[in-house]
A and B are shown apart, each in its own frame.
Chain A
């Protein structure tokens, strides 16, 4: 841990913009220099890399993956050289486009690099590597020559951490599922003889999330089988799902209302979500199989259903979801968080699979422009009030920046500075007082970015915590007016 960046124990201390950041500790002379390379940023990245590589050695020793990780690390050194050659060849070609020799050289460099990447993907499948993990090496040609070296150091460290964290997390998941196996079978598998067969059932893990948090954690599809026959699947999420469960329960209560007490006559999806224990950081979800061959054309459901010519069928469902979710201030319902599910050949349902983000000044994300929703009935409002009150007692995800913006920042060694600043800006705009130094925020984001993780923040009891609640890492407190 960076010794200079301890949490400020006085949580009342306001955030002050100023020189006390990793990024602007440069001298004025340095900041006026042309094409600056921020030495403080580079030093911070190198310090973090040193810390992580030491931590990684400890992790891989316990996982017995020292050999493949070491082999990968050696291969990445070779890849870095090829990536530099490719970048130089492309830059030279850009300067004189019609040169046949340069065209040929660039093509050779491309082939060599593509060949090595292909080999790495095949050789290190067990570490979860795929071709897309190397995209940033192709983009080195677009990075300023002065910072190519540090960029490669950063990318190398990020990829190694990604592999090791993934392995650690899957190992942890396997242990949790093994311990919960009987409960899972009882709760999610509709077969009366199943418990007796539990010992005969095996399970496989398939990570399914588009991003990771908190050192490689991501949702995992768990598929149970017996004698090589697939029986059922669930989804394991490495987070508390009490809010999601409360909202899905509420959907059920809305469905049970008489027609006269419904503002919109639509049935909402109801499915099973269980926390492993009441305050557990793990939850188990009924697996909702997406309708095969049907994908959302875009990020926003209202636009996507228009593009799919399904407005007539799906708009009432979307309005119903909007009326409930907007009341509860649930946000971040972009199409990655919605599944199109066919309970039968005729019908199709929009199923929200992530209802954890509560933001008081955001839209739900279901519509581009807030629609006119029919007025809620008294019975509906009563149910919503009860649910809102219950949600208020549960830790909720705090999303300071749209997830896609985090994801797009991950490949750049210096983007943590802007992202940390943006998180601080959002927090202060939302009437919170920062309780840590800005340098500490930058360091926390850098640690996440070096593991290719999207920062995960929790809002609970008027405080914002960085990372899972059990890490007890408060970074801001609601401003008392």
Chain B
């Protein structure tokens, strides 16, 4: 988990940008589904959207920070965002799907 290959503040900034992009895209997708589909299986749909959003975030991180010396740091940062995608976002998406 070497921290000098990437500037920690730039690393943090890029991480937050990727997280925001994936998060907002997931919300937009949910709103689209609510408009266009009926009889939605709330749990499954929310789960699928969250998993996709997390994968997008993860792929962006791995592609942007490929240096092997930072592998641990990148992994820890990715897993740290699981709360955002699988708890917070999941709750938000479930609420949007149910409010239809």
Residues of A within 8 A of B (CB): 90, 93-94, 97-98, 100, 103, 106-107, 110, 135-136, 138-139, 141-142, 298-300, 303, 334, 363, 365, 368, 401-402, 404-405, 407-409, 411-412, 415, 418-419, 421-422, 425-426, 429
Q: A408 is contacted by which of B2, B76, B86 (Cβ under 8 Å)? A: B76
The 9 lowest CB-CB distance pairs between A and B, nearest first, are A408-B80, A422-B1, A107-B43, A402-B8, A135-B83, A103-B41, A299-B12, A138-B87, A103-B44
Q: What are 8 A-B pairs with beta-carbon distances under 8 A? A: A142-B82, A298-B16, A300-B12, A368-B9, A405-B3, A408-B80, A409-B80, A421-B1
Q: Is B42 in the interface zone, CB < 8 Å from A?
A: yes
Which chain B positions have C-beta within 8 A of A368?
7, 9-10, 13
**Would you call B47 and A94 a contact (CB within 8 A)?**
yes
B9 touches A363 (CB 8 A): yes
Whether a CB of chain A sits under 8 angstroms from the CB of B25 is no
* Also in contact, A142 and B43, with CB within 8 A (given A299-B12, A368-B9, A408-B77): no
* Complex contacts, B80 vs chain A, CB 8 Å: 404, 407-409
With A138-B87, A426-B3: A107-B76 Cβ-Cβ less than 8 Å: no
Interchain CB contact (< 8 A) of A299 among B16, B42, B73, B76: B16
Known: A299-B9, A365-B9. A402 touches B43 (CB 8 A): no
A405 and B77 form a contact (CB under 8 A): yes
Known contacts being A402-B8, A405-B73, A425-B2, is A103 close to B43, with CB within 8 Å? yes
Give the docked Cα–Cα distance between A416 and B8 (Å). 20
Name which of B1, B4, B48, B90 has the most chain A CB atoms within 10 A of its CB: B1
Q: Does B9 contact A425, Cβ atoms closer than 8 Å?
A: no
Q: Which residues of B contact A141 (CB under 8 A)?
A: 86
- Chain B residues lying within 8 Å of A100, measured Cβ to Cβ, are 41
Distance of A110 Cα from B93 Cα, bound (Å): 14
Chain A at the B interface: SS class: helix
B86: A residues at CB distance < 8 A: 138-139, 141-142
Interface residues of B (CB under 8 A from A): 1-4, 7-10, 12-13, 16, 41-44, 47-48, 72-73, 76-77, 79-80, 82-83, 86-87, 90
Q: Give the CA-CA distance A298 to B13 in the complex, in Å.
A: 7
Q: Nearest residue in A to B41 (C-beta to C-beta)?
A: A103
Contacts of A422 in B (CB 8 A): 1, 3, 72
Distance in angstroms between the alpha carbons of A368 and B11 in the assembled complex: 10
A107 to B41 alpha-carbon distance, docked (Å): 10
A139 touching B82 by the CB < 8 A rule? yes
- Residues on A with C-beta less than 8 A from B83 are 135-136, 138-139, 411
Partner of B9 from the list A300, A401, A409, A429 (CB cut-off 8 Å) is: A300
Bound together, the chains give a CA A334 to CA B8 distance in angstroms of 10
Contact indicator A408/B87 (Cβ below 8 Å): no
Bound CA–CA A426/B83 (angstroms): 28
